[in-house]
Amino acid sequence: MKPAKQKGPGRSELRVKFSDDLIWGLHTVLEALCSEPERITELILQKDKRGSSWQEIIDCARNAQTKCTFAERITVDGAVDEPVIHQGVIARVAPVKLLPFDELLSQFSERVQNHENPKIIACDCIQDPHNLGAIIRSAHASGVEHVLLTRERSAPLGGSAAKAAAGALSRVKICQVGNLSDALLALKEVGAWVFGAVKDPEGTSIYHTDLCLPACLVIGNEARGIRPLVKRSCDVLISIPMAGDIDSLNSSVAGAVIMFEMHRQSLFSQETGKPA
pLDDT of residue 270: 84
What sections of 199-240 are H helices per DSSP? 228-232
Query: Minimal CA–CA distance to 156: which of 91, 103, 218, 230?
Result: 91
What pLDDT digit, counting tens, does each position of 92-127 carry? 888 888 999 999 999 999 999 999 999 999 999 999
Rounded Cα–Cα distance for residues 117 and 119 (Å): 7
pLDDT > 90: percent of the chain: 58
**What is the 3-class SS of 34-96, one letter each residue?**
HHCHHHEEEEEEECCCCCHHHHHHHHHHHHHCCCEEEECEEEEECCCCCCCCCCCEEEEECCC
125-to-62, 84, 153, 221 alpha-carbon distances in Å: 22, 29, 5, 5
pLDDT of 128 over the 90 cut: yes
What pLDDT digit, counting tens, does each position of 31-53 carry? 889 888 888 888 999 988 888 88
Which architecture characterizes domain 101-272 according to CATH? 3-Layer(aba) Sandwich (3.40)
DSSP bridge pairs for 24: 90
3-state secondary structure at position 145: coil
Rounded Cα–Cα distance for residues 258 and 274 (Å): 20
CB 251, CB 135: distance < 8 Å: yes
User: Cβ neighbours of residue 33 under 8 Å, at least 6 residues apart?
Assistant: 40, 57, 60, 61, 64, 66, 91
What pLDDT digit, counting tens, does each position of 258-267 carry? 999 999 999 9
What pLDDT digit, counting tens, does each position of 143-182 carry? 999 999 998 888 888 878 888 998 898 899 999 999 999 9
pLDDT of residue 5: 42
Rounded Cα–Cα distance for residues 258 and 198 (Å): 11
Angle at 29 (CA atoms; ends 23, 30), nearest 5 degrees: 170
Residue 154 Cα to chain centre, angstroms: 6
Name the residue ranges covered by the structural domains of the chain.
8-93, 101-272
Topology of the domain comprising 8-93: 60s Ribosomal Protein L30; Chain: A; (3.30.1330)
pLDDT of 14 over the 60 cut: yes
User: Cβ neighbours of residue 47 under 8 Å, at least 6 residues apart?
Assistant: 3, 70, 71, 72
